[in-house]
Amino acid sequence: MAIEFTRDLIKIDEVVGEQLSQALVEADIIVPEAKPDIAKILDVLGRVVINSKEAIQDKVMVEGTIKYNILYVADGDNQYLDSMDVETSFTHYIDMPDIKPKMVPYVNIYVEHLDYDIINSRKISIKAVLDVNAKVNQELQLEAIKDFKDEEKVQALKDDIMISTSQGQGVSQAVIREDVVLDDDMPSIHRILREKVQTTIDDKRTADNKIVVNGTIDVGILYLCEEDSRPINYFDCQIEFGHFVDIPGAYQGMDCDANVTVEDVYVEAREDINGELRIIGIEVLLSVEGEVFEIENKRIVTDAYSPQTRLQLKKRSVKLVESMGEGQSQTVVKESISFPQGMPEADEVMHVSVQPIISDEEIREGQVIIEGILASNIIYRSGEMGGVVGNFQEDIPFRQAVEINGINEDMYSKSSLQVEDVKFVLLSPDEMELKVNIAARSEVWTISEKEILLGFEEVEDKEPNEGGIFIYFVKPRDNMWNIAKRYNTTIENILKYNDIEDEDHLEVGSRIIIYKKFDYQVSAQ
């Protein structure tokens, strides 16, 4: 009589590959005609905009743009400060075996390090090291065996798994406009030198046929004024935004994920009613990506054998990703910094830019432990050199922890950092104190490999069947299932002839008596 069973259609978003890589992007930058010659570069900031990403055979291709802001001292008698915004494009390939076209890539890129050299007063060379994190998923549809109707004829090992399946993706753009006014104690604007924008998602939820995303845009404006006592000023503000991404088929209660990136920024100084440049018009172009998921708990058959006949099994191994949660934390890094030997003494620290870089992270004792450096660039003015503006770099190590309930060392994490506030004070002509408020966000997940039973064949067993009494001594990693399967008997039959207190925890070296009438073999492929 044939073995009867039922099937279940399982849809799985399987992780095909994940790869960390670095890209070196080199470019020669020509100073725009409207800008003065360069005497000295004070600071260079770069941010990456991903223009496209695509899975091709055994690779992921990423095309993007690096947008630079270069702050410099202009050549000439006055040596005033100026800046320029330039950009350069790049294409990067990430080698990932088994990747095929039409698979879905997820890519994150950020600038880890920048080097620059002045070739001449109108040309500079920039080298950017980019950290690239790529992950590729594919959708599988498997007809798996759900259950066997005759439990005496076939012994089945089952496992509960949580399956997260993408139900749709979408991308949309949002233009956020806001006019902000300088604080009363800040001088009027002569020229804007730099704008720095970063986003935070405060809330994301699924509604009918869309994802709704709410968040905050942190805007920092570095500007030049006409007051000799305070030529550089920094103004920051927050702008709230709300936007949605259309995803047909989405409904309230679905799990969702969202990512917001800044594609472009435009700022303009405007006159107030007194004719002073104290109003800043801000326009930010955001790209909002969203994805909705359906999470299902499934009970699947992962292994089977028959004490009555020999089965040749057909299995499929899949990698499953399960989110274990996310968390946030804040920390303040306070550091006293001595000026490098030989540097002119300072009258005033004018501005400090800080870039947080993660060097290592690990999960320990229910926390994601993040270690990194704060790459700081200090710009100051020296009366000793006739008011000349100078700068130097300082790398400050830091350590931060993010608590997430239920996580352990066998899981995986990915963290991101954001500088929320920078304060500094000059303690003496050659020493300053820097205080940086850092916000950290960590996500933790597990990747498990599960075998799913897709089918089987009954195979004629030409080996003679042997019965008898066997004595087996428990070995490490043994369990009742693999012992019963090895001797082609049932767990119930083993328990019948043995006094086993806890069948889920067998003591290594303990003796088990196995009584069986026949012995059949099982093979799997």
Q: Going edge to edge, which strands form the sheet with 348-364?
A: 348-364, 367-382, 388-403
Q: Residue 161: what residue type?
A: I
Q: Would you put residue 209 in left (φ > 0), alpha (ψ -120 to 50) or beta?
A: left
In-domain check, residue 11: no
In-domain check, residue 500: yes
Judge if 296 and 168 occupy the same domain. Answer: yes
Q: Using the CB atoms, write b or e for 23-43: b if 16+ within 10 Å.
A: bebebebebeeebbebbebbb
At 274 the pLDDT is 94
Name 274's Cβ contacts closer than 8 Å, sequence gap at least 6: none
Judge if 431 and 481 occupy the same domain. Answer: no
- Of 417, 448, 479, the residue at which a domain comes to its end is 448
In-domain check, residue 309: no
The two tokens of residue 490 are 């049932």
Q: Are the CB atoms for 294 and 167 separated by under 8 Å?
A: yes
Q: Among residues 34, 25, 36, 28, which one has the least CA distance to residue 123?
A: 28
Residues 176 and 166: their CA atoms lie apart, in Å, by 29
In-domain check, residue 317: no
Residues 135 and 445: their CA atoms lie apart, in Å, by 14
Judge if 173 and 207 occupy the same domain. Answer: yes
- pLDDT one-digit tens code per residue, 397-433: 999 999 999 999 999 999 999 999 999 999 999 999 9
At 43 the pLDDT is 94
Name 461's Cβ contacts closer than 8 Å, sequence gap at least 6: 309, 310, 520, 521
Judge if 470 and 427 occupy the same domain. Answer: no
At 161 the pLDDT is 85
Judge if 442 and 502 occupy the same domain. Answer: no
In-domain check, residue 64: yes
Q: Among residues 18, 49, 22, 19, which one has the least CA distance to residue 259?
A: 49
The two tokens of residue 350 are 């004018």
Query: For residue 480, what is the domain's CATH number?
Result: 3.10.350.10
Judge if 131 and 234 occupy the same domain. Answer: no
Judge if 476 and 362 occupy the same domain. Answer: no
Judge if 336 and 291 occupy the same domain. Answer: no
- Of 420, 448, 476, the residue at which a domain comes to its end is 448
Range of the domain at 421: 324-448
Judge if 94 and 206 occupy the same domain. Answer: no
Cα separations (Å) of 199 from 12, 241, 265, 315, 329?
32, 10, 12, 45, 16
Q: Using the CB atoms, write b or e for 112-151: b if 16+ within 10 Å.
A: bebebeeeeebebebebebbbebbbbbeeebebbbbbeee
The two tokens of residue 477 are 């990693």
Q: What is the CA angle 189-195-197, rounded to 5?
A: 140
At 465 the pLDDT is 54
Judge if 168 and 291 occupy the same domain. Answer: yes
- With a cut of 70, list the residues of the chain below it in pLDDT: 1, 77-79, 384-387, 461-467, 517-525
The two tokens of residue 345 are 């003494």
- Of 422, 448, 474, the residue at which a domain comes to its end is 448
Residues 45 and 51: their CA atoms lie apart, in Å, by 19
Residue 383 is given by DSSP the state G
Judge if 236 and 336 occupy the same domain. Answer: no
Judge if 183 and 290 occupy the same domain. Answer: yes
In-domain check, residue 32: yes
Count how many domains the chain has.
4
Q: What is the DSSP string of 254-304?
A: -EEEEEEEEEEEEEEEEE-TTS-EEEEEEEEEEEEEEEEEEEEEEEEEEEE
In-domain check, residue 307: no
Cα separations (Å) of 399 from 361, 384, 432?
10, 37, 21
In-domain check, residue 150: no
Residues 503 and 484: their CA atoms lie apart, in Å, by 12
Residues 130 and 110: their CA atoms lie apart, in Å, by 6
